[in-house]
Every structure is written in structure tokens, then in C-alpha cells.
Structure 1
Amino acid sequence: MTEAHARIYWLSRPGAEAPPPRWQPLDDAVYWERPSRGPDRRPLLAPAPDWAVDLQRVARAVFAADRYVRRAQVFDRWTRRITVSVPVTEPERWSRALPALTAVLGTMTGDLWEVVFRALDGKTVREGPFTFGSDEYAHDVALFSGGLDSLGWAAQRAGLPSSHPLLLVTFGERNFEAVQDHVYEAVRGLRRRPLRRIAQSQTVRKPHGSGIKLELTTRARGLLYAATAVHAAAAEHVPVVHLPENGQLALNPPLSAARAGACSTRSVHPWTLHHLNRVIAEVAEPGSAVRVENPFATLTKGEVCSVARDAGLPRKVLEATLSCGTPPARRPAGPELAHCGLCFPCLVRRSGLLHTFGHDRTPYAADPWDRALPASRTTHWRALRRWLDTDWSTLDLVADAPLPPDTQIAPLLEVVERGREELRALIAWADTTASRKAS
């Protein structure tokens, strides 16, 4: 789609409605999903309330729009203007949540969003039969990406003795689902309570033969993940959803001015979660709201690695996780090259594993300290080194993204500074390694 103002009309079901002129119709069929794992067939033990189904629908519409509208077609090659029309059960209630929703979308993507709500015509999700008792409902719900952070939280919670299940929500990475399955099995080996998992696809496909090129940045996927977990929690009456992300990458302070705002991922930033919780509070019926929290907001990557180790996971399992910021679908090599080794998430991962184990044997495609690499491939490494050589303060913490009004600043400053120390240790180790190779 190349228009300066993109208009996406989300259908309640394929072919159900005719969009107005100049609107692009999209629906659930754009997701590459097995029929057995579609949004109407999730293995939940009770039906989700209408507001949670609506939230899931809004998130799927937004993420599909995010992929169908390319940044390369706009004047600054980043900031798009996107209007999405979505059917919901109670448009008036959703209209009250609109300021908070647009704040979430703007913080995550850096785009100008307008969301239009229209009345939903009939149910879109099958219900029942549900014959389970409430004692079989999940007690904890968390995202499980197959990364170090979600693995650490899942391992910790799975090891707690309880008769109530832990429910993990996974979105498959194309070409790397085997990696996610492997680390999930490691959690299963630790469990002292029932464990369940919902697996979904985040792959959006273009119409066959259309010639459409999809956008690659996928900044809105954090909303898709969170909304799916909230939907599951609301169905099984779980009041809190956990989105585990170490405090360094949740805050994700930009390494340079060019990385400010949504140029650095903001999926679990405190400002994002604050507004997402405001959306839920506005649309949920009394007594059914779900709160979204980050349990690792004050831990560094190294401290999260220590949590996973202390929960009983061996180093080789942590090294088998997926952390790379470059989507694996763009690198069709096998799982042994799941990590580019050069992006900022890979660098934070390296520092965390080095902090906890003294070494990192993850197979990376490249090392940023390799003097044979061209400068174009070491931009993250050079930006990191410059950032660590500069002072850092409270003003830097809020310079490109606000914090919620009730935020305790000191713990966030402390987690960033401890994270900087872990990254400095990585640089010292890398410099020593490079010198040895050169000699």
C-alpha cells in the first residue's frame, strides 16, 4: 500500500462485509495459521468475555495493518498515517478507551494511528462445550517467546509447588519453532505443577500474486502478544498477565539520538503497559479486568540469567534460547544461526550470559569485534561503546518516552546502570579476545 494515508477495514470474518471505497479489506485469513490453532479454537477452559475477544481482534487488525503499510513509502521512511476500522461489541465503551489505545500504538510504533470502532454483527468465536471446574483453570498466565527472559520467568513459576496450572502463550517464529519447543520442554522438566501452552502464529502473508511487499519492522507485535495473553487470562479468570522482559530492554534507552522513540522497541516499556492497562480498565466489565505487568522490570539481563540458572536450568538450555532482534524469517539458515550476534538484543544477551556463567557458547553468525567485518555491520557495537563512554542520568531515562505518574525512578536508574556495567564487562572481555586473536 503506497498511499500517504492508509485505511484498513478489518472484517469480522472473511467476506462478511464490503468496505467503503478506498479502504483495504483485511481479515484473519491474512495470518498464516493452522486451522486447529486459529483465534476461535484456542484450548481455553472457558469462554473469554466479549471485551477480551474485542481486544484480541483490535490487536490482530493493528498488527496486520502494521505489516501491510510500508514505512519506505512515506516522506521520512518511518512515520505512517494509518486508520483502522474494527468491529467491536460495544463501540461506545471502546471509544472511551481510544486515547489510551492510540497512546499505546504511538509509543510502540511511532506512527499516527486513528482507530474507528463499528458495531460487531454477531459472534465470531465459537463457545463451548466447557465442562471443566474452576480448580482446573490456570493460576498464572505469561508470555513465552522462547527467549531468555520468558524462559527465566516460566522456569521460576513452573518450579513452585501448586495444583493450579501455569499457562504459557507462545507466538511461533518462522524457521525456529523447534528452538521454542526445545526450551519449553526444558521448563516441562522442572515443573512441580500442571503446565499448559497456547501456540499461535504471528506470520502475516500477502495475497498470492499481489506483488505486495510487507513491512519488516513489526513494532506492533507486542500488542498482539499481550492481547492474546490477556484474552486467555480473562477466559480463565486470572487477574494478572506477566510479560517478562529484563529492565534494560524494557526501558531500552536509545544508544543515540537516531534511535529515540519507536526506533528502539517499546513493547514492554512502562509507558506502554500503563496505557494498555488503561485500555483494559475502560473496556472490561466490572470484576473481569486483567492487569498486565512486567515481573523483571528491575532486573538486568545477567540477573534474569541467574534467575533461570537458580530455577534449575543448565547453561546449555539458556544458550538454546532465541534473543536476536533481527527476525529469523529474514535469515533462512538453520536454527544453529538463530542469532546474528551483532544487534543490540544479541549484545545484551551476550553480556547477560557472560555475567552469569563467565562465558557464552551460543553460536552467533558473527562477532562485532571481528576486525574483518565491514563498518556497516558493526554499527550497534560502535554505538554501544560510545553510549557507555557518556554519562547517563534521569533526564536520559525520560528523554524519548515518558514514565507513568506513579513510577519509582530510583530502581529504574539502578537497573540501567547495573546493565551498563554488564555491557562494559562484555566490551572488556571482547577487547581481550580480539587482542589475543590478533597476536
Structure 2
Amino acid sequence: MTGHDYSLWWRGHRGDRPRGGRWTEIGEEAFQEKERRVIGRHHLPGPVPDWAEDLFRVARAAFIADKYVRRTGVRDRWTRRISLDVPVTEHERWQSATVRTHLTALLQTLTGDLWTVDFRPLTGSQVEEAMLFPDDPRASEVALFSGGLDSLSWAATRSRADDPRPLLLVMFREIGLLRLQQRVYKAVERLDGPRPVMLLPMSQTPAGDGSGLRLETSSRTRGLLYSAGAIRAAAAHGVDTVHIPENGQLAINPPLTPARSAACSTRSVHPWTLNRLNALIAAVGDAGSAVQVVNPLAQLTKGEVCKAGRDVGLTPSDLESTLSCGKPPARRSGGPPIANCGVCFPCLVRRSGLLHANGTDDTRYEALPWAGDLHPDRGTDWRALQRWLLGRYTLTDVLTDTPLPPDSDPAMVFDLIGRGRKELARLLRFSDPAGAADAA
């Protein structure tokens, strides 16, 4: 890789390196886990369609490129030019101008980078065939399950649905947080709903690139990888919808400052992102058997999601045991075994949501954002949130960041963010000791 142009190719069965330029080879070894754990090939009730396997491979390649190409190496320390070459089975479909347009638009929305993606025919079998168990029940519904508060609330709600067919939860293991994720899943099982619930655990931990340097710390394509994994599972189960539960407040993720606009804030479940992903699936999927991705919590604030979880039987302790943090201390090298840092923006939204639903929040956090001895660098999100809440937020602000899909109602989005701002405003009184004491 030279200059500010970075070229990576996912090795095919015959190692067919693209011609021209200097290419960095990536492949299965770019993940720490064994391939079977990465791709979750176990207890699938049917084969994975070629288009879904291709989409998963493309998402894996984009994820590794995102981690291997460091933003610190470019002039503005953010915008990279990345060329990616991936082998696909459905080569003619992926080569079309429509697919290329949808994919590059999706990647640019997620990462803020300039992407060029080329495809070549996949020759031979790159991964072992799935171990099929035809007698295993086919799920009627598939949802991502992170161990977070939103996914727990949705899983608990759907486990109570009057449906004899199973709910399949697709969970990607988190480094240092697997026990927490398993504990959160047990909260769904304890509800003992009328519906069977199945868990499909997968892995996605990137390995080093051989340089000895730390990988890129941002990970804007991780959500795409998770979505592609769930889409792949849904296609094998014959399910036409994948639910990606994320409260609408954080799905929109309005920037607290101008410096956090567009891809500088996470956009993995933004309505525009899901719109682009669904357009891509429609372009590469088989007619009549493609999958659609939906956020079932798009119209709810964090507090409303918490309340929905309480309404189906989850306890405050269940909700407080979840993971919401953008930078979990347990994932950090040498960090304490705590799931939530307490000071990042997702943790602040979490705090406001639990206060809204429970009146209290007894989550064990690493730090308090309003603590007097907090390092200034760690209080950045709290200070930005205070300024944002004290300022005006208008319908124009909704429309000037990441665009909304044509079928979205900007007024409904504006109302949603307004309700979320009211929940967050409750945190302002915690910034002085008297307010914190009163709330406690």
C-alpha cells in the first residue's frame, strides 16, 4: 500500500491476485478465531444461498480493510481511499453498475471514505460446506442480539409472541464480554415465553496485520458485518426479514457538534444505511427469496425501549446487566472487567433511558461523567451533550446531516429526537452534587 491509496484483495481459492498496483492480501487468517466459529456453520436447517454467502464475504473483506487501513496515515486523519477486490459466486450480479453504486454508497455512508470495489469469479469452494441438520426447526424470525439493552428488550418482547416456530437470535461474541452476553441471553430464557428461542453465536475478532501496530480504532463497518451474518442465517432459515433492534434515538444519532456530522458518528442502523443495504440485497438476491433488514425500534427512544422491556417482564436488574458502551473497559487491554464506561455518548443515552423507565440506574459504571476528578479527555461527550441540550434543535438539523430515505417522515424523526432530548435533559441536574443527591 502506498501513499493515500490502499488496495486489499480477499484471496480466492486459487490465489488469483488482481493485476496492477500493490495489493495487500487478506482472507480467513485475518480473523483470530477458526473459520467455523467465524461464519457460524452449525445447525443450519438448509444451505446458504450463494448471494448471501457472497454478501457475507464482501462484508468481512470491508471490515478487515476498515481495520487494517489506519486513519492516522492520511492527511486529514479520517478520509481514506480504499480499493477492495473480492471473489464472488454470483459474479455477473455483483459486476453490475447498480450493485456497485449501492455498495459504494453504503460503505461511504458508514465510513466517510472513498471506496472502489471490484469483483472476480470465485473459483472452487473457499469454505467447507455447512453441516446441515434438516430435522432442526426452521426459525420464523431472526434478530441480531448483541447483549445490549435494545436487543434484550426486543428479544424478550418477541419471545412472548404467539408463534410456535422459533425466534433465532444471532449473536457476535465480544472480546472479554462473552459471559455478559450469555448472562443477558439467560434473562430472555428466564421469561419462559411460549415461543422457542435459539441462539446462533458467531465471532469476528480481527487479527493483526503483521506490522505489530495497533489496528484502526474506529470500526464503522462492524455493523455491516453483523447485519450480513444475520442476513446469511435468515436466508438459510427461509426467513425474509432480519430485525436489527436499535432505539431510534441512537439509530439517527444526531451529531452533538459539527465535528461529529455524517460518518464521524456511527451510522450503522441509520434509516439511510438500512435503505442502502436493502437496495443492495434486492440487487444481488435471488428473486422471491431475498431478505429485508428492518429496525423494529426505530420510532422509540431509549427510555421507551427500556419501558417496553419492563412491560414484558424484564427486571431493572436484567436491564442494568446489559452492554451499551461504545468503548467497553473490558475490551480495552488492561481495562477493568466492567461492561460500560459510563461516560461515552451511548452510556449517557443508556443512563437517561434507565432513569426514564426505572427511576434509578444501578449499573456498575467505570466512571461518572460529572465527577470532578474525571480526566478532561473523558468528559468530552458529557460537555458536548450539555451544550447540545442547552441549544436549539430544529427540523432543519434533522435534514442537514445524513439524509433520510424518501419514505421517511422528517416530522416523526424530529418528534422522536425531541422526546429523547427530554430524557437526556434529566441528566443535567446530575452535573451538580445537590442534583445527584436528589436523584439518588
Q: TM-score range by the shorter chain?
A: over 0.9
More deviation, 236-245/420-429: 420-429
Shift, 1:128, TM fit = 5.4
Corresponding residue number in structure 2 for 1:194? 196
Counterpart-to-counterpart distance in 2, 1:310 and 1:296? 15
Contact 1:39/1:125, CA 8 A, preserved across alignment: no
Which is further off, 78-87 or 35-44? 35-44
Amino acid at match of 1:369: W
**Counterpart of 1:70?**
70
For residues 16 and 117 of structure 1, what CA distance do their matches in structure 2 show? Answer: 14
Distance 1:76 1:394 in 2: 30
C-alpha separation in 1, matches of 2:375 and 2:231: 44
Deviation at 1:372, TM superposition (A): 2.0
Give CA deviations for 1:91-117 in whole Å, capped at 9, x if unaligned.
221133111111111111111111101
Distance 1:29 1:42 in 2: 20
Where does the alignment leave 5 or more consecutive residues of structure 1 unmatched? none
Name which of structure 1's ranges 376-385 and 287-296 shifts more when overlaid on structure 2.
Answer: 376-385
2:415 alignment partner in structure 1: 414
Q: 1:33·1:200 contact (CA, 8 Å) conserved in 2?
A: no
Q: CA, structure 1 residues 11+148, in 2 after alignment: closer, same or farther (shift >3 Å)?
A: same
- Residues of 2 paired with 1:242 and 1:195: CA distance? 15
Q: What is the CA deviation profile of residues 265-307 of structure 1, one whole-angstrom value per residue up to 9, with x for unaligned ones?
A: 0000000000000000000111111000000001000000111
Matched residue type, 2:64: A
TM-score (norm 1): 0.94
Instruction: Quote how far apart the aligned CAs of 1:391 are.
Output: 1.3
- The aligned length equals 433
For the 8 Å contact 2:245–2:295, the answer to whether it is kept is yes
Partner Cα distance (1:212, 1:432) in 2: 42
Could you tell me whether the CA contact under 8 Å between 2:41 and 2:130 is conserved in 1?
no
Gaps (5+ residues) in structure 2?
none
Q: Is the 8 A contact 2:303 2:357 kept in 1?
A: yes
- Hey, what's the Cα distance between the residues in 1 that align with 2:81 and 2:144? 30
Kindly provide the amino acid, as one letter, of the partner of residue 73 in structure 1.
G
Residues 188 and 390 (structure 1 numbering): CA distance in 2 closer, same or farther, change over 3 Å?
Answer: same
Q: Name which of 200, 204, 207 aligns with 1:205.
A: 207
> Do the aligned partners of 2:44 and 2:133 also contact (CA within 8 Å) in 1?
no
Range 422-431 or range 360-369, more displaced: 422-431
1:24 match: 24
Preserved contact between residue 142 and residue 230 of structure 2 (Cα < 8 Å) = yes
3-state DSSP of counterpart to 1:312: coil
Query: 2:236 is aligned with what amino acid?
Result: A
Aligned letter for 1:24?
Answer: T
Note the C-alpha offset of 1:376: 2.3
Deviations 1:6-53 (A, max 9, x none): 00010135x744454510000011112245423272431111110000
In structure 2, what is the Cα distance between the partners aligned to 1:338 and 1:286? 42
Shift of 1:402: 0.5
The DSSP-based 3-state class of the residue aligned with 1:113 is strand
CA distance in 1, matches of 2:209, 2:374: 38
Aligned residue type for 2:235: A
> What's the secondary structure of 2:432's corresponding residue?
helix
Amino acid at match of 2:161: L
Moved over 6 A (4+): none
Matches within 5 A, 1:238-277: 238-277=239-278
Are positions 1:330 and 2:332 aligned together?
Answer: yes
Match of 1:99 among 94, 98, 101: 101
* Counterpart residue number, 2:176: 175
How far residue 69 of structure 1 moved from its aligned partner, in angstroms, is 0.3
Relative to structure 1, the CA distance from residue 433 to residue 165 in structure 2 (aligned partners, 3 Å threshold; closer, same or farther) is farther
CA displacement at 1:141 relative to structure 2: 0.4
Find the residue that maps to 2:263 and give its secondary structure: helix
Question: Counterpart of 1:82?
Answer: 82
* SS at 1:378 equivalent: helix
Residues 18 and 309 of structure 1, relative CA distance in 2, 3 Å threshold: same
1:198 match: secondary structure: strand
What is the percent sequence identity of the aligned residues? 52
> 1:343 offset after TM fit, Å?
0.5
1:427 matches 2:428: yes
CA contact (8 A) 2:68 2:216 kept: yes
Alignment-derived partner of residue 51 in structure 1: 51
Q: Which amino acid aligns with 2:196?
A: P
Q: Does 1:41 align with 2:38?
A: no
Between 1:301-310 and 1:389-398, the stretch displaced more is: 389-398
Q: Could you give the per-residue CA deviations for residues 109-142 of structure 1, whole angstroms, max 9, x where no partner exists?
A: 1111111011111233434564525x92111100
The answer to whether the 8 A contact 2:251-2:267 is kept is yes
The Cα of 1:201 is off from its aligned counterpart by: 1.6
CA distance in 2, matches of 1:66, 1:395: 32
Provide the rounded CA distance (Å) in 2 between the counterparts of 1:326 and 1:70. Answer: 18
After the TM superposition, which residues 351-362 of structure 1 pair with which residues of structure 2 at under 5 Å, given as runs?
351-362=352-363
**Quick one: which amino acid aligns to residue 366 of structure 2?**
A
> Aligned residue for 1:136?
137
The answer to whether the 8 Å contact 1:87/1:117 transfers is yes
Give, as a single letter, the amino acid of the residue that structure 2 aligns with 1:224. Answer: L
**d(CA) in 1 for partners of 2:199 and 2:122?**
29
Secondary structure in 2 matching 1:7: strand
Q: Is the 8 A contact 2:430 2:436 kept in 1?
A: no
Cα distance in 2, alignment partners of residues 77 and 42 from structure 1: 41
Distance 2:333 2:360 in 1: 25
Residue 156 in structure 1 maps to residue 168 in structure 2: no
Question: Quick one: which amino acid aligns to residue 376 of structure 1?
Answer: D
Deviation at 1:375, TM superposition (A): 2.5
Identify if the C-alpha distance between structure 1 residues 40 and 120 changes in structure 2 by more than 3 Å, giving closer, same or farther. farther
Letter of the structure 1 residue corresponding to residue 62 of structure 2: V
Query: TM-score by structure 2 length?
Result: 0.94
Closer/same/farther in 2, CA of residues 169 and 151 from structure 1, 3 Å limit: same
Paired residues of 1:19 and 1:25 also in contact (CA < 8 A): no
Partner of 2:120: 118
Tell me how far apart the structure 2 counterparts of residues 205 and 354 of structure 1 sit (CA, whole Å): 39
